[in-house]
A and B are shown apart, each in its own frame.
Chain A
């Protein structure tokens, strides 16, 4: 009898937890809709959005470029090791390019963006809420969602694909450095096989689509968690952590869905 009661309590709590998460998702969706509808200010006074592109994009450049370079270099090292066993070392360029453009570029850049820019956005908005700056703005008849949140959202969405492209480009360069300069794969083969195998529409454009989707997801989560954070120090810090964790999981889950749609004969390939 004791066990049944305890079990029941666990189940109730689980149910309540699931319900509250679903409720929260609904709330977040309405927030996104409101944000998009009221993006007029962010677009008309583009200055505001430009400032946010700076904070989200430019300040993430270093980590993106350096990480891209290292990832590309490691890909070349690991890739060469396996490919040369099959005498396919000339396809190293293909391996590096496709891995980056299709997957690693959008995904890793997205994860890095979530932890650097996403957490910063959450912390900033959360702190503004905690110090009553958002309420003060409301009181001055200025909609804080339009003035503070929307520019950050669009700044993130615009920055993300650019960062992903730069990550992939740096990675390919890193792969070239290690593969051609260090290991000695033939440069001509490296580039020409790459060009033959990487298709603009199917690989590069799909990669860009992925990075746009990730950008929307990460920035949406970041601004929502910040706006919804309890106005205390602990609340803001927890919200920041939640942003990073939820964004990362969302990126990986969306990546699976998008990859399944795009790259496995789901469409007609053209």
Chain B
């Protein structure tokens, strides 16, 4: 591919420019977000629950349109896409949902085969080879005949991962991939995210609040709070950050910018017997 003057711009797979969003115009969930995700990198978006990171992921996915600003994903503005265009864009993306979201009425094999069946006309043996290849990559080729209800949480998530890479996507999105996993599965998923990203030549975005695990995997971090990006940098920079919120988050302190107590009236006043 020729280097064009635009190559600088297009080396970012995702560009979020001044994006704001709110389900209800009076209560914006995202305010003026700016980020660039470079091709081939693994990027983490971290923050407290409710800071807007999952909403941001949905905007990147094209499920929501920004109320203000632009989201450019894989070279296309999500705001300008019609349904056909959106589907075309999504065929180049893979997404891992929080608990896997496997189709419960199909076997593991059928789940991974699903995107291949829907989007490609493949002869059965080629399909079989591809599905087994993907399952092998996540270490679950032996589980091909099982049903999702028979899988443990970690296994289900790995199958979902295999499904999301079935079409060799250029961009892989992870929504809280580490939630509720045991330490071994943690390590497995983290390793897979890195390995798959590099072997597929893809770009990955991880939304999570599992700091320690994620910091070991990502190349770059964006830290969000209350709908804004309040810090960004490499894992080393974030760990050393003196920004109070980041500090509290990374070190798991119970006091800091995020207070322990939910706002409440004066304690003494609350304990007094109610006025007649």
Q: Which residue numbers of A lie inside 8 Å of B, CB to CB?
A: 128, 131-133, 135-136, 138-143, 147
Contact = CB atoms under 8 A, between A and B. Distances in A.
8 contacts: A131-B101, A132-B97, A133-B102, A133-B103, A136-B97, A138-B90, A140-B118, A141-B119
B90 A135 contact: no
B22 to A, nearest CB: 20
A74 B114 CA distance: 50
Contact of A132 (B86, B101, B115): B101
Contacts of B98: 132
A216 to B, nearest CB: 25
Given A141-B87, A141-B88, A135 B115 contact: no
A133 B118 contact: no
B204 to A, nearest CB: 15
Give the most central of A128, A135, A143: most B CB within 10 Å.
A135
A168 to B, nearest CB: 33
Interface centre among B88, B90, B98 (most CB of A within 10 A): B90
B99 A141 contact: no
A140 B115 contact: yes
B93 interface: yes
Nearest to B61: A139
Interface in B94-115: 95, 97-99, 101-104, 114-115
In the A-B complex, the 9 residue pairs with the smallest Cβ-Cβ separation, listed nearest first, are A141-B87, A132-B101, A136-B101, A141-B90, A139-B95, A132-B97, A140-B115, A141-B91, A142-B118
Nearest to B115: A140
Contacts of B97: 132, 135-136, 139
Interface string B51-80: 000000000010100000000000000000
A135 B101 contact: yes
Nearest to A134: B101
A138 B101 CA distance: 12
Most buried by A among B61, B86, B87, B101: B101
Given A131-B99, A132-B97, A139 B104 contact: no
A141 B84 CA distance: 9
Contacts of B86: 141
Contacts of A131: 99, 101, 104
Nearest to B118: A142
Contacts of A141: 86-88, 90-91, 118-119
A140 B61 contact: no
Given A131-B99, A132-B99, A132-B101, A138 B88 contact: no
Contacts of A138: 63, 90
A102 to B, nearest CB: 39
A27 to B, nearest CB: 17
B118 A139 contact: no
A85 to B, nearest CB: 56
Given A132-B98, A135-B63, A136-B103, 12 more contacts: A128-B103, A131-B101, A133-B102, A133-B103, A133-B104, A135-B97, A136-B101, A139-B95, A140-B118, A140-B163, A141-B118, A142-B114
Contacts of A135: 63, 97, 101
Nearest to B87: A141
Contact of B95 (A128, A133, A136, A143): A136
A179 B202 CA distance: 75
Interface string B170-188: 0000000000000000000
A133 B100 CA distance: 9
Among A131, A136, A142, A147, chain B packs the most CB atoms within 10 A around the CB of A136
Contacts of B88: 141
A155 B97 CA distance: 30
Contacts of B119: 140-141
Contacts of A147: 118
Contacts of A133: 101-104
Contacts of A142: 114-115, 118
Contacts of A132: 97-99, 101
Contacts of B87: 141, 143
Contacts of A128: 103-104
